[in-house]
Amino acid sequence: MGLFTFKGGVHPPYQKELSSGRAIKTAPLPKQLIVPLSQHIGAPCNPTVSVGETVKEGQVIGKSDAFVSAPIHSPVSGKIKKIEPVLHPLGKKVMSVIIDAQEDEEKAYLEPLGDDPEKLDGKAILERVRDAGIVGLGGATFPTHVKFSPPKDKKIDTLILNGCECEPYLTADHRLMLERTTDIILGARMIARILNVDRIIIAIEDNKPDAIEKVRGEASKYGIEVAVTHTKYPQGAEKMLIKAVIDREVPSGGLPMDVGTVVSNVGTAVAVCEAVRDGKPLIERVVTVTGNGVKEPSNFLARIGTPMAHLVEQAGGTTGKLGKIIMGGPMMGLAQPSLDVPVIKGTSGILLLQMENYMKVDYRACIKCSFCVRVCPVHLLPSTLSIIGEAQKWELAEKYGVNDCIECGSCAYVCPSKRPIVQLIKTTKAKLREIKAMEKK
């Protein structure tokens, strides 16, 4: 059987060898952690603690009554020093709980439910996923309990676990598949129990042969399929993965549930496993610290709220003159103004690149080469959308399907005129959301 793939996409230098051979290390606790109360798509949380209060590891410190939200838990035992707006990795100040860490072995975890999915009720597992504050750990941070609660008229028959990790440089999921294989499989079975599905597929790109072998060996015990996909960006995007693996096309404006599928990240599966089996809330995650701007590229198990500077220090510190700091990978990651921002639930990596990799280049007019059209995985006209965005014709962009853009950046990557196509599209989408919000008011 040939490799699973999709039409379009690009092949950037992957640079995964920098950290793929580095086993996950537990990062030492920093003296102080900054825990934003908004780390997910949806309503931000309100603090449930006050300044001066002592908290336990795993205790709820932020909560919202909204359905599309996820509670925030204290990643450490310690004392609340401040509750104030702090710069968030998304580029704005967000109300955050600042905790002075203290050595304390007592934890405020949830009651363990067990480790046999067949003996557990799907509704109980779903409730645990919500109470544990789990969000999508692939980077989207959509509250997982919402994703796992499709309407009754949406019949789900397939769960796809995403282990592609197509973003260059990042290797956190790769290491999880090698080191936490059993937990990934158990988490997948728990998710399948929630969704009441029998078919589970774990998708892995073919540039991770060791992970494919390890996962396949464990998955075969439970009748779980392993789909080996072609190494291509953005293979890990939900719509691309569904098309490649089960040949279903998510309709324009639709969701995976519209074609009977739910896609979840392998890191999310581990978090589900820990929440159900151990009662552990989502208080830490694996973060890749990599790039030619750091001395020792590494993979760390880091507490949520850890300053990025602390992890970079554990990786030997910076080297050369830094030109760019990115949370995530180079294609879809977010540039950071400094390393003082904290690790959040959606921090899959910290990429540091030296100055010579990021020389400022002025972009030029579109030359109608259509390279961006050829590589667009969702078959849009990126060049046209960027021109419409420059002209601020927001409603026209909607007619050209701007909201179907998955913001993968493939268009900007191949553009010979160095046009910031994806940035212009993002701006257009933001303006459309703003206009619709005003119309509702």
Position 2 scores a pLDDT of 59
d(Cα 343, Cα 334) in Å, to the nearest integer? 13
From the CB of residue 122, how many other CB atoms can be counted at a distance below 10 Å? 16
Q: pTM for the complete prediction?
A: 0.95
Position 3 scores a pLDDT of 82
Position 148 scores a pLDDT of 97
Position 359 scores a pLDDT of 57
Position 328 scores a pLDDT of 96
d(Cα 296, Cα 230) in Å, to the nearest integer? 29
Position 54 scores a pLDDT of 96
Q: What is the pLDDT of residues 107-141, one digit of tens each?
A: 999 999 999 999 999 999 999 999 999 999 998 89
Cα(first)–Cα(last) distance of the chain, in Å? 54
Position 1 scores a pLDDT of 46
- Flag residues of the chain having pLDDT under 50: 1
Architecture of 1-28+108-359 per CATH?
A: 3-Layer(aba) Sandwich (3.40)
Residues near 369 by beta carbon (within 8 Å), at least 6 away in sequence? 416
Q: Where are the domains of the chain?
A: 1-28+108-359, 371-440
Q: What is the pLDDT of residues 225-253, one digit of tens each?
A: 999 999 999 999 999 999 999 999 999 98
Q: What's the chain look like in SS3?
A: CCCECCCCCECCCCCHHHCCCCCEEECCCCCEEEEECCCCCCCCCEECCCCCCEECECCEEEECCCCCCCCEECCCCEEEEEEEEEECCCCCEEEEEEEEECCCCCECCCCCCCCCHHHCCHHHHHHHHHHCCCECCCCCCCEHHHHCCCCCCCCCCEEEEECCCCCCCCCHHHHHHHHCHHHHHHHHHHHHHHHCCCEEEEEEECCCHHHHHHHHHHHHHHCCEEEEECCCECCCCHHHHHHHHHCCCCCCCCCHHHHCEEEEEHHHHHHHHHHHHCCCCCCEEEEEEECCCECCCEEEEEECCCEHHHHHHHCCCECCCEEEEEECCCCCCEECCCCCCECCCCCCEEEEEEHHHCCCCCCCCCCCCCHHHHHCCCCCCHHHHHHHHHCCCHHHHHHCCHHHCCCCCHHHHHCCCCCCHHHHHHHHHHHHHHHHHHHHC
Q: What is the pLDDT of residues 251-302, one digit of tens each?
A: 998 999 999 999 999 999 999 999 999 999 999 999 999 999 999 999 999 9
